[in-house]
Structure 1
């Protein structure tokens, strides 16, 4: 082990015998009492020394035997120690690719803050390279989501969409102006390839677009992101379109913009959280006229010529969607799990709606959760962060 104090966390003396690591309440930790001599030993925890060398240098500084090991264990228990050599074979392979890792160092630093285990951040980052996701939709939201996931190190990002790129699809983080007139799937494939820290060969990059889950030699889908160009498909998702994912147990996350309202969530865990069918049944219980409205909106008879999709709002939705997707892919359950977040122009206040599994839905999630089928009202308070303080 080559321990180092996590460099992503700023540290400062709170008072003469207490050191605070980290700035924000979500990840700040205070350690004390720490005398000045022990504090000087912190400077040696930079990942270049093993424990034996640390002990020897501590003795040379006149510090007691075993103090270095005690300090490392104490900091590790507080989630403050990283290891420049840990993370397993996949992490070691990533470290060997300096060109790729240089692109991802800020992501690795962020993951080191999130994961308390030494080497855990690098382990999570390396694991992304073996993940396959699918993005349904290559408009202002979907294309940006695909680019962000690829740039964050997700190894395979497939994009499904039809038609050709239109001028209104162009965004700074998504499809470029040069793609106007191209077919959306090849254009999105090029965007994903250009965004990746390690660009795959063109043939490999193209092989996955449009491929189904479980194709020979392909990793299975870890997540489907439903980002339709018509945001109605995210706000009121079609249960029929999601039936195969629900039956196959494929997690899927909805996101989009409809009529100047951004929607992120829910993240559906089949059999565990509310699915598109639960949403539709629950809304119908509260509003008997909802099925009639949906039938007209989905029929295509009164399609609006230009969807209302503000560029900045679409970029905000795409960024938040990618962040929630990465959190899930890294092994967490983000606050879109069974929850939908909405924000609308011009005030951009985020609203939270918890969505309960419906007892009449064929997905069966209500049987596992004991849900009554009722949907909680909006909660604008958001989610509170946690602040862990450790002393002694």
Structure 2
């Protein structure tokens, strides 16, 4: 992915000759700090790079040679600010005309690179990186009715169930916990415990980890309106997803019926808990388990952060090389579960490109 280029128009004056003060109505406007990870990282004769990340970074171009150092100083101030700063203050500190500072600030704001910096994210590399990634991902697509507005608030208020037996469930729980998800129920028959916990609301997301797909449990979650993500794991390979959103796209029975060699006469009522193999220990090769747990955690955080992965997409990975292949599943015409809507009628999230 190429780094974004922000090109400024011709300067309205030179740093040496223009007045840094102004009496215009917007001369005292406040400018929010640059988002985390966008500190200037060097420059050429007429450009300045913001951030080191090739995905989230940007390059500010259209500068004059004489103003590059002053603009770099301006960007340093915005990157290190803990609160909004006045345009006039920035102009005075950098030796740039107020009009030029406004022009630069407008380009940064239009690109979504500035804004209020929530205290909950200050100094936290993980949440800062995700906050910036969500800004680049486009509009939110919440799967739950929540009032939380920041990444940190959504994660602290989420309830995630990780149903499975084996080291992979522990790896996944640790990753989600480190990402700020506070309420995680994990372990063998964890989802069964949810069924008997009448005082708690339905979980934000259920993740099932097993050697077979959880058809019977998936049917129950679908009927309850619970979003769930199946993970089918073996010693040397794993299949992740698709994310199952009740009422949007395929269910797990649709996925099964769409696989080569499946029996089209099978219905959702054919599945039972014994067939789910919930009691079986999942043993994945350690390096594969690391890749799978990281992938599942990223998809789960997408659900929680209101930027879910696309409906109907399944990810496959296997030894010996790290790669993710994707396949797309549609609502199957022979599926008997109610509440289906075709995939193309459901909102797609980031990452819909097939590989």
Q: 2:81 aligns with which of 35, 47, 51?
A: 47
Which deviations, in whole Å up to 9, do the C-alpha atoms of 1:242-296 show, x marking residues without a partner? 1221112211001141252112111111121211110122236x444997xxx9x
Separation in structure 2 between the aligned mates of residue 353 and residue 41 of structure 1, nearest angstrom: 46
Check if 1:225 corresponds to 2:207: yes
Give unmatched runs, 5+ long, in structure 2. 1-29, 141-148, 346-351
Match of 2:49 in 1: 20
Separation in structure 2 between the aligned mates of residue 108 and residue 303 of structure 1, nearest angstrom: 33
Match of 1:243 in 2: 219
Which deviations, in whole Å up to 9, do the C-alpha atoms of 1:287-318 show, x marking residues without a partner? 44997xxx9xx968x99998653122122211
Contact 1:338 1:355 in 2 (8 A): yes
Against the structure 1 CA distance between its residues 49 and 363, is the aligned structure 2 distance closer, same or farther, given a 3 Å change threshold? same
Separation in structure 2 between the aligned mates of residue 136 and residue 303 of structure 1, nearest angstrom: 8
Against the structure 1 CA distance between its residues 266 and 213, is the aligned structure 2 distance closer, same or farther, given a 3 Å change threshold? farther
Against the structure 1 CA distance between its residues 64 and 249, is the aligned structure 2 distance closer, same or farther, given a 3 Å change threshold? same
Check if 1:32 corresponds to 2:15: no
Separation in structure 2 between the aligned mates of residue 282 and residue 27 of structure 1, nearest angstrom: 37
Check if 1:312 corresponds to 2:287: yes
Contact 2:84 2:116 in 1 (8 A): no
Which deviations, in whole Å up to 9, do the C-alpha atoms of 1:136-191 show, x marking residues without a partner? 114122222122212211121112415xxxxxxxxxxxxxxxxxxxxxx7xxxxxx
Give unmatched runs, 5+ long, in structure 1. 96-100, 163-184, 186-207, 372-380, 385-392
Moved more, 258-267 or 63-72: 63-72
Separation in structure 2 between the aligned mates of residue 214 and residue 24 of structure 1, nearest angstrom: 44
Aligned residues: 300
Match of 2:152 in 1: 125
Against the structure 1 CA distance between its residues 343 and 365, is the aligned structure 2 distance closer, same or farther, given a 3 Å change threshold? farther
Separation in structure 1 between the aligned mates of residue 315 and residue 289 of structure 2, nearest angstrom: 14
Separation in structure 2 between the aligned mates of residue 346 and residue 299 of structure 1, nearest angstrom: 32
Check if 1:142 corresponds to 2:169: yes
**Within 5 Å, which residues of 2 pair with 1:90-169?**
92=119, 94=120, 105-116=124-135, 123-161=150-188
Separation in structure 2 between the aligned mates of residue 153 and residue 308 of structure 1, nearest angstrom: 27
**Within 5 Å, which residues of 2 pair with 1:160-309?**
160-161=187-188, 210-212=193-195, 215-216=198-199, 218-228=200-210, 231-233=211-213, 237-238=214-215, 240-283=216-259, 286-288=261-263, 309=284
TM (norm. structure 1) is: 0.65
CA offset at residue 73 of structure 1?
2.7
Match of 2:324 in 1: 350
Against the structure 1 CA distance between its residues 138 and 34, is the aligned structure 2 distance closer, same or farther, given a 3 Å change threshold? farther
Contact 2:229 2:241 in 1 (8 A): yes
Separation in structure 1 between the aligned mates of residue 91 and residue 228 of structure 2, nearest angstrom: 52
Separation in structure 1 between the aligned mates of residue 116 and residue 274 of structure 2, nearest angstrom: 57
CA offset at residue 129 of structure 1?
0.5
Task: Give the helix-richer structure, 1 or 2.
Answer: 1
The 3-state SS of whatever aligns with 1:149 is helix
